[in-house]
Amino acid sequence: MNQSTTVSILIPCYNADRWIAQAIQSALNQTYPYKEVIVVDDGSSDRSLEVIRSFGDRIRWETGENRGGNAARNRLLELSTGEWLQYLDADDYLLPDKIEQQVKHFTQAPDADIIYSPSIYEYWHNENSRREIQSIPEPHDPWILLARWFLPQTGSPLWRKQALLDVGGWKPHQPCCQEHELYLRLLIAGKRFEYCPHAGSVYRQWSESTLCKKDKSKTQEQRLLIKDRLEEHLKTQGLLTPERQHAINQARFECARMIWLSDRAWANTLAQKIHSAERSFMPSGAAAPKFYQFAYRLFGFSTAEQIAQLKRSLSH
């Protein structure tokens, strides 16, 4: 990427009249000069289109019937003319130097296809908000990061347009975990991921109405399918190192702990899958405090969960 490469900033919008002006303005405010801003309104029924139109010829835009987020992202991919893409959901925004910092970093890794960075989460409650940088832990092995769900949300990376075209773009009917499903196909296709430490994208957490938050079992199902496909690919390619296997199993364990609360049979099946893949597996991190690790080591997953449930009930 040379210093005058065009970056297309692509904003899908559906019923986001509260936020869309800030998203568009943050795109226009980018200090990187070689940019275009394109908005696709996905059949909004609120004032979103009115707000989009108010930006006049500073942006390109179109509207159509509601077809879903990934269909809108694919339409934006078609409309873009830049060699590099910045996706930005309508309820999120960018800090002014976000793209400039990532473009500068590209000089260190000119073969990169995806330049990814930590996201800034902005949590809203009533009208109050607080920010927190979601760091991306080492090792920066994208297979481990994807297994652990540490690769960032859609607005964080710069995406090479050709890389997305090579894998067929966004999967139109993917119900949730859309960027993770796309990350997996990019990795399988051999696309190169490069970490840039600069956090410049703000991911606003304000609604519980997204599918991934409403139907948590559907989200867990999709997460686990992605982990299974990831594991199978690494296994068939001879790339499943012990570190990668452990990361996959730790991620499965974290899912199993959540699933246990609503479906014990499913959670136990997951625990058995972990044991089959890694007989010496021992969970770690926030999902497995010391007392839990002790119970897990002595009695296994199911009994450890029952002890944890008893502990929770006694503390209330």
Model's pTM, two decimal places? 0.94
Confidence of residue 308 (pLDDT cuts 50, 70, 90): very high
- The residue among 209 and 101 whose pLDDT is bigger is 101
Question: Given this model, what pLDDT does residue 315 score?
Answer: 78
Task: Average the pLDDT over each of 2-16, 83-97, 188-202 and give the range with the smallest value.
Answer: 2-16
List, in sequence order, every residue forming a beta bridge with 84; answer none if it has no partner. 7, 160
Average pLDDT for residues 220-233, to the nearest whole number? 97
Quick one: what percent of the chain has pLDDT higher than 90? 88
pLDDT in tens, 122-164: 987 777 778 899 999 999 999 999 999 999 999 999 999 999 9
Q: What SS3 string covers 189-255?
A: CCCCEEECCCCCEEEEECCCCCHHHHCHHHHHHHHHHHHHHHHHHHHHCCCCCHHHHHHHHHHHHHH
| Residue scoring higher pLDDT (214 or 68) | 68
CA 228/CA 251 separation, integer angstroms: 11
pLDDT for position 217: 86
Q: Residues 280-301: what's their mean pLDDT?
A: 95
Cα(201)–Cα(203) distance, integer angstroms: 6
CA of 77: how far to CAs of 9, 27, 59, 169, in Å?
Answer: 10, 16, 15, 8
Contact 117, 196 (CB under 8 A): yes
pLDDT band at 211 (very low <50, low <70, confident <90, very high): very low
Q: What pLDDT, on a 0 to 100 scale, did the predictor assign at position 313?
A: 86
Split at pLDDT 50, 70, 90, the class of 312 is confident
Residue 57: predicted pLDDT: 96
Mean pLDDT of the chain: 94
Output phi, psi for 280, to 5 deg: -95, 15
